[in-house]
Amino acid sequence: MDYSKIKFDFKIGKIDAKDLFLQENFESLKYAAYNLMEDLEWDEMILFAGSLAKKLSEISPQDAVQKRMFLILRHWVLRLELFAFGSLKDSEKNELFKKNFIEMLTQGLDIEKAVFDYLDIYDSPTIVTRETSHLLFLLNANQELLGNGQAFSSVQFKPTVENWIKEYQTVLRPSAGMKLEPGAFHIVKFMDSNQYVKYLTSVEKSALRELLDFYNSLLNPITYVAEGEKIETPYVSVEKFELPQSMISNSSQAPIAPTPPKAPLPPRQPVVKPMQEVQRPVIIPDKPKVQTPAYTMPSRPIPPVKSAEGGSQQVGTFNRLNIQDLLKSRSQMDEGIGGLTIGGGKLADSSQHIADRKPETKTPDIDKKLEELRKKTGSKQ
């Protein structure tokens, strides 16, 4: 919609029929119709649609552009009337469903939604049944063609709405005393089995399906029945079933004794499930720890020390040891080393040679003992 060309003060009664195809009038017409639907102006919709339909009947499109505009404006006429269906008079409903029903289908309008949105307002099934019966009467008398008449000339069938409904009713006829509610199954069966459907184009077949679907809805409308109120449903019946005579037992046979009534069952006792014993985890105690005594280094025996008198003395404790004897024994060892001879001669300057020797890394046992004695006795020697 081109809003730049819209006349917001547009009045349909102020323009001539020949000026409907002007772009500014065309856009203004659509804008005005949409606003009427948005504001729910029911009476204004009907008056606007009637005026537009009258002006369209006075002109004929000259080219493809005008034909397109003409179809769009006709769409708005039907859309407004269908949207305001509840405010239409009976004469207006008759014209809409007897003369313009096929045009509404080809224009893609949702007829079923518009009608049943209006019928849902009423909570009385009597009013709903009256309205649907009136619409069924209009469809059964509709002489609009749904299909090309020349394609059916060879089979001598006139494809009017009335005749299509008559053909469809042959599928809805109850068989073997059974009556079923009409539904999608019947439509599929009819479209597959009817001998005249094959002469329709794909667009015409789609329109026929919508026609039959709307017809099914009118036959079986959804109604809300108040408590204690009765309503007839013609396509749902429950008939008494009787066995054929051939299956009924002869009178000569003894009648079958009736089955005695069963004794009432005792009251059901509540089932109490026994409590399951909870398995507790088994805890294995730790093994006691055995404390082992700390390892002690065994003491080595102290070797015997020669005394000054030439005898040996076992040193059991350091307090009894003669320090003077130990020092004297050490000096004797030093003198022995200094008097060594090499090759039959006395080692020259043996003391100097001893002084030049590198000290041993290991301390003799006697030095260790002296150090220990000094520590224990506090001697400064």
Instruction: Supply the pLDDT for residue 155.
Output: 83
* C-beta separation of 37 from 45 below 8 A: yes
**Do 270 and 216 touch, CB atoms closer than 8 A?**
no
pLDDT below 70 — which residues of the chain? 1-10, 123, 174-180, 222-262, 268-282, 285-326, 329-364, 378-381
DSSP state of 316: S
Please state, in angstroms and rounded to a whole number, the distance separating the CA atoms of residues 22 and 27.
Answer: 9
Torsion of CA 84, 88, 94, 96, to 10 degrees: -30
Q: Coil, helix or strand for 139? A: helix
**Based on the number of CB atoms within 10 Å of its own CB, is 321 exposed (0-12), middle (13-18) or buried (19 or more)?**
buried
Q: What confidence score (pLDDT) does residue 277 get?
A: 64
pLDDT at position 173 is 76
**Separation in Å, CA 283 to CA 276, 277, 286, 287:** 21, 18, 9, 12
User: Which tokens in the block code for residue 197?
Assistant: 């459907």
Q: For residue 210, which amino acid is it?
A: E
239 vs 288: CA distance, rounded Å:
92
- Report yes or no: 215 and 139 within 8 Å, Cβ to Cβ: yes
3-state secondary structure 191-218: HHHCCCHHHCCHHHHHHHHHHHHHHHHH
- Do the beta carbons of residue 116 and residue 216 sit within 8 Å? no
Q: What is the pLDDT of residue 72?
A: 93
The pLDDT score that the predictor gives to residue 175 is 55
Nearest-angstrom CA–CA distance, 47 and 30: 15
Q: What is the pLDDT of residue 16?
A: 86
Burial class (CB in 10 A: 0-12, 13-18, 19+), 358: exposed
Which of 133, 143, 68 has the alpha carbon at shortest distance from 102? 143
**Residue partners of 129: CB distance under 8 A and separation at least 6:** 221, 223, 231
pLDDT at 102 (0 to 100): 92
Q: What is the pLDDT of residue 343?
A: 45
At 346 the pLDDT is 46
Q: How far apart are CA 351 and CA 353, in angstroms?
A: 5
Q: Which residues contact 27 (CB under 8 A, 6 or more apart)?
A: 1, 2, 3, 5, 6
* Three-class secondary structure of residue 313 per DSSP: strand
